[in-house]
Structure 1
Amino acid sequence: MTTKNDRLSFLEEMKDVRRIRKPNRAEITTPRELTPGHLERQRAAVETPFRDANPLTSDIVDPLTAHDILCWQRPGIQHGVFRRFRLGQYPIEARLDLHRLTVEQARMDVFRFIGDCVRYGLRSVIILHGKGERNPDGVAQLKSYLAKWLPELSDVLAFHSAQKHHGGTGAVYVMVRKSEREKQHNREIHGAR
């Protein structure tokens, strides 16, 4: 319980205190002068152009139609392995659907997808690109670009248009290179150096 003396003591101690007249708000105005750090960041942004790490070309490509079959492999792929691959006999471990994407969106997604496949050890995947049958010019645009992009990626060993039950000429099987971690694991298991 407070007494009268406590209250008088408190008021005596507070007699020189003055009320703050500024409103209780933060200052949000931007400073007028530019700091050296700001000037350096501004200079670097202007001088250093954006470097796209994605090697996939966005040039003009040879047009393909809905019924063209995609088929490509790097040297060294065994005939029997490629045959089983193109017949869809390997389990599909991941899929990427490019339907309704622009060429630039598809370019970024394909690059990211193949990188993720290597990172996670996925070897047999499928990319659904569509046939382009509704296009007035009959050109399967994403399919045409995909046929150009996949050989540009060193992690792609082979690709082939899918079997009918997986999308036919509107999809492509992609064989992805083993990651270094997987190669090392195989060396350890089989005793190779």
Structure 2
Amino acid sequence: MNQNDMDLFKQEMADVVPLKQCHNVPTTGGFTTSAAQRARNAAAQSSEYLQRLPLELARIPPVKPDDMLSFKREGVQDAVFKNLRLGKYKVAAELDVHGMNVRQARDSLISFILQQQQRGARCLLLIHGKGHSNKPFPALIKSCVNYWLTQLDEVLAFHSAKREQGGYGALYLLLPKNEQQRLENREINRRGGHLR
């Protein structure tokens, strides 16, 4: 800038008053989502899962009607998995998909798991049936469920149910804690939890 430009700039800025610095940032008291926003988020999340869980039967590894199903993600404690396998956890909700077609079963499964996780449910019962007479191959829905559940990060573990709750035609699902439950546990651990 030459001197004339600087003088012109100072003339233009002569009546400008600097803003007062305010260190108090107004808060709204927390972020809340509307029902419509939550519905849109759930729909987007559900759509993502629908794309990840195939309907093409060629991609589904078949299991037999009387096979025991069992799956555990890395990080799930052996004692927790044993309690799940033995049916020692209280079942918070159940879903029956046997008799549904593949698309209905997949859509119902995704919706059910997402809803239950949001509610804070940890152990679920899923009835898939054995499917001895399924077409195009036996245990069609059972095979799909077995594969799909391994593709969902929300499923920590599953195991075929005890005989009185469906045996090899049903399974127990273990879901992770939701964000609210994690926060509560952190607070309990921070305060010393059971020591008080």
TM-score after normalising by structure 1:
0.69
How far did 1:67 drift?
Answer: 0.6
How far did 1:148 drift?
Answer: 0.6
Unaligned runs of 5+ in 1: 1-50
The aligned amino acid for 1:126 is L
Cα 1:80–1:102, aligned 2, differ >3 Å: closer, same or farther? same
Give the aligned partner of residue 90 of structure 1: 89
Give the aligned partner of residue 70 of structure 1: 69
CA distance in 2, matches of 1:136, 1:110: 20
**Is 1:56 paired with 2:66?**
no
In structure 1, the residue corresponding to 2:156 is in which secondary structure? strand
State the aligned residue count.
142
Unaligned runs of 5+ in 2: 1-45, 192-196
The percent of aligned pairs where both chains have the same amino acid is 38
In structure 1, the residue corresponding to 2:158 is in which secondary structure? strand
1:138-177: CA deviations, max 9, x gaps? 6100100011100111110000011101100000110001
In structure 2, the residue corresponding to 1:80 is in which secondary structure? helix
CA distance in 1, matches of 2:167, 2:47: 33
CA distance in 2, matches of 1:138, 1:154: 27
**Is 1:150 paired with 2:170?**
no
CA distance in 2, matches of 1:78, 1:70: 18
Cα 1:102–1:135, aligned 2, differ >3 Å: closer, same or farther? closer
**Is 1:188 paired with 2:191?**
no
CA distance in 2, matches of 1:183, 1:72: 23
How far did 1:134 drift?
Answer: 2.9
How far did 1:99 drift?
Answer: 2.0
In structure 2, the residue corresponding to 1:101 is in which secondary structure? coil
TM-score after normalising by structure 2:
0.68
**Is 1:121 paired with 2:120?**
yes
Alignment of 1:97-108 (within 5 A): 97-108=96-107
CA distance in 2, matches of 1:122, 1:144: 24
CA distance in 1, matches of 2:116, 2:184: 17
Cα 1:98–1:63, aligned 2, differ >3 Å: closer, same or farther? same
The aligned amino acid for 2:120 is G
1:92-129: CA deviations, max 9, x gaps? 11000002211000110111111011100000001000
